[in-house]
């Protein structure tokens, strides 16, 4: 049996991972955009609820649980976790944060459009 070096076995895998200049230009912006959009969802949710849920520090006592549908309800430590505590929010600060996140999303969209102009496929 002939031994094939691992480098040659990995060549097809590396060829499949080859990216175009457009993809290389957009990749960091897309990653940051995912983070910004997740922050926007969390901030909008906190504004609609009027409070923010933070992970509870202790497993005992009465906490808040979130169902898969997003409903928040009281639960005890013998219920299945994770457990959260309510924290009040500052509406003005959360609104300003949401506005800043929207501006950041617009900046990232413009940067990705700039990538598309620089590297047309």
Lowest mean pLDDT among 78-82, 89-93, 98-102: 78-82
Q: pTM for the complete prediction?
A: 0.71
When pLDDT is averaged across residues 9-31 and rounded to a whole number, the result is 74
Q: What is the DSSP string of 18-72?
A: ---HHHHHHHHHHHHHHHHHHHHHHHHHHHHHTEEEEE-S-SSSEEEEE-TT--E
pLDDT the model gives residue 7: 53
């Amino acid at each position: 049996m002939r031994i094939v070096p691992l480098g040659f076995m990995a060549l097809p895998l590396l060829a499949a991972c080859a990216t175009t200049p457009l993809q290389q230009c957009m990749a960091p912006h897309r990653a940051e955009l995912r983070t910004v959009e997740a922050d926007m969802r969390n901030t909008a949710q906190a504004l609609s609820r009027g409070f923010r849920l933070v992970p509870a520090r202790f497993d005992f006592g009465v906490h808040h649980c979130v169902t898969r549908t997003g409903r928040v309800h009281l639960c005890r430590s013998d219920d299945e976790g994770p457990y959260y505590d309510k924290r009040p929010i500052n509406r003005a600060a959360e609104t300003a944060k949401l506005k800043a996140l929207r501006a950041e999303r617009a900046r990232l969209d413009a940067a990705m459009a700039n990538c598309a102009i620089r590297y047309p496929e």
